[in-house]
């Protein structure tokens, strides 16, 4: 995949598609700011489990408070074309007593009840976050239809971003309650013979984990075929898959707690995101190896594409099982995969040009990194 063809894939990766979240207005302001430290109720805007990214704010030269991101003990805020870095002890970090969520901005229109973060000359700013080069999220400020965030010492402006709001109570309470109810009998059954319902749940969940881990390994293999996943990365991915399968095996067949299930789901989703990011990294230039016979090349391409599309189908299904992917999103993913299959079939039996091959690889990689974004978002449960 070359960089000029990768733009569509990166655009798909940047669009995290959280349109299922509905915001609500709060009767009382649940937001609070803590000076110089990360509060216990700090809002997580991205990052990783070990290094979460929180939202911070600083007063700028225009005497307004501008929001940005935390990292490495600092607060980073974009302003005047630059990224401003200040020690966290001199900044404020956002906390919330209510559940928050993120939603996509469509056609420059913010969802109702998007949380406001400040004002510039009477024009409101809002909390935003955006994906930088398809790799990682960065928190910043929305102003007049764009999200501004700091990166590499510069101020980055983008029209593809998400804004933050409070999640409606019904959307946050229904899923955990259902999960807890299902997990309780499974835990009670451990060591004393599982009930039919608990055993079925354990069996189904083990099957889901196995399918997702196999999908990650398949995706890594396909990435190595097009030189987007190195031999070292492939070795590390295989080791991670084997380790996770061993952990799952230790849980046995009688069930597990909700916390154990969530941890494994999140670990596997993180692994998938890691592989998908490698697949869409435009610094990893694709190396083409053309076969002498066009029909042989076509057969190899078809086998690779069929495998990747099968991975997408598996991930969409498993994402639906754990409520990380909505029914509408699953239908959209399946429709997109089928459209790609139709395009591949329509190419006939005479092989593909480099441009055609790159375009199809980009479409599929973009779809998979989009799904992995859904699966690795811990607020989706």
Average pLDDT over residues 319-342: 83
| Alpha-carbon span 132 to 152, nearest angstrom | 11
Tokens of 89: 């002890």
How crowded is residue 40: how many other Cβ atoms within 10 Å of its Cβ? 7
Average pLDDT, the chain: 75
Closest CA to 51 of 69, 34, 67: 69
Tokens of 378: 């811990």
Closest CA to 64 of 190, 179, 148: 148
Mind listing the pLDDT tens digit for each residue in 316-326? 887 787 778 88
> What global pTM score does this model have?
0.44
Furthest C-alpha separation in the chain: 70
| Alpha-carbon span 37 to 192, nearest angstrom | 47
Handedness of CA 361, 367, 370, 375 (dihedral sign): negative
What residues form DSSP beta bridges with 65? 59
Give the E-state strand segments of 6-64 in sequence order: 23-24, 31-35, 44-47, 52-59
Average pLDDT over residues 282-289: 52
Reported as half-sphere exposure (CB side, CA atoms, 13 A), residue 212 has a value of 32
212, 272 Cβ separation under 8 angstroms: yes
Where in the chain are the domains?
Answer: 23-167, 173-375
Distances (CA, A) of 129 to 78, 237, 276, 335: 12, 29, 20, 28
| Alpha-carbon span 122 to 120, nearest angstrom | 5
Which helix (H) or strand (E) element contains residue 106? Answer: none
Q: Where does the pLDDT of residue 231 fall: very low under 50, low under 70, confident under 90, or very high at 90 and above?
A: confident
Give the three-class secondary structure for 13: helix
Mind listing the pLDDT tens digit for each residue in 208-224? 777 778 777 877 877 78
| Alpha-carbon span 6 to 277, nearest angstrom | 12
| Alpha-carbon span 58 to 18, nearest angstrom | 28
* Interaxial angle between packed helices 354-375 and 327-346, expressed in degrees from 0 to 180 and rounded to the nearest 10: 170
How much is the pLDDT for 294?
44
| Alpha-carbon span 374 to 131, nearest angstrom | 13
Average pLDDT over residues 233-255: 80
First CA to last CA distance, the chain: 33
pLDDT for residue 170 is more than 70 = no
Phi-psi region of 126 (alpha: psi -120 to 50; beta: other; left: phi over 0): beta
**DSSP for 257-306?**
-HHHHHHHHHHHHHHHHHHHHHHT-TTS-------SSHHHHHHHHHHHHH
Name the most confidently modeled range: 11-25, 62-76, 170-184: 62-76
């Amino acid at each position: 995949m070359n960089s000029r063809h990768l733009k569509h894939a990166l655009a798909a990766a940047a669009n995290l598609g959280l349109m299922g979240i509905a915001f609500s207005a709060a009767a009382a302001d649940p937001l609070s700011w803590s000076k110089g430290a990360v509060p216990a109720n700090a809002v997580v805007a991205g990052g990783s489990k070990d290094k979460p990214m929180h939202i911070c704010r600083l007063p700028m030269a225009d005497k307004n408070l501008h929001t940005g991101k935390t990292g490495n003990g600092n607060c980073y805020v974009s302003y005047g074309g630059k990224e401003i870095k200040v020690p966290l002890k001199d900044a404020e970090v956002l906390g919330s007593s209510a559940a928050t969520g993120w939603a996509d901005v469509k056609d420059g229109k913010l969802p109702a009840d998007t949380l406001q973060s400040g004002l510039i000359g009477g024009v409101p700013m809002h909390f935003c976050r955006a994906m930088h080069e398809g790799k990682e999220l960065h928190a910043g400020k929305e102003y007049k239809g764009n999200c501004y965030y700091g990166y590499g010492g510069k101020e980055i402006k983008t029209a593809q971003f998400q804004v933050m709001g409070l999640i409606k109570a019904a959307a946050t309470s229904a899923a955990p309650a259902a999960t807890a109810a299902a997990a309780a009998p499974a835990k009670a059954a451990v060591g004393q013979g599982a009930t039919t319902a608990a055993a079925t749940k354990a069996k189904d969940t083990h099957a889901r984990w196995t399918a997702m881990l196999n999908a990650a390994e398949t995706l890594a293999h396909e990435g190595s075929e097009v030189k987007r996943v190195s031999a070292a990365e492939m070795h590390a991915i295989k080791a991670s898959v084997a380790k996770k399968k061993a952990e799952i095996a230790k849980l046995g067949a009688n069930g597990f707690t909700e916390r154990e299930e969530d941890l494994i789901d999140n670990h596997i989703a993180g692994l998938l995101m890691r592989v998908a990011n490698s697949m869409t990294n435009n610094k990893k230039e694709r190396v083409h190896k053309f076969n002498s016979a066009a029909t042989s090349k076509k057969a190899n391409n078809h086998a690779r594409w069929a495998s990747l599309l099968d991975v997408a189908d598996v991930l969409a299904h498993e994402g639906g099982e754990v409520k990380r992917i909505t029914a509408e999103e699953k239908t959209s993913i399946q429709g997109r995969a089928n459209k790609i299959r139709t395009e591949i079939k329509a190419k006939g039996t005479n092989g593909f040009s480099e441009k055609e091959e790159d375009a199809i690889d980009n479409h599929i990689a973009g779809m998979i990194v989009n799904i992995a974004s859904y699966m690795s978002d811990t607020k989706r449960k």
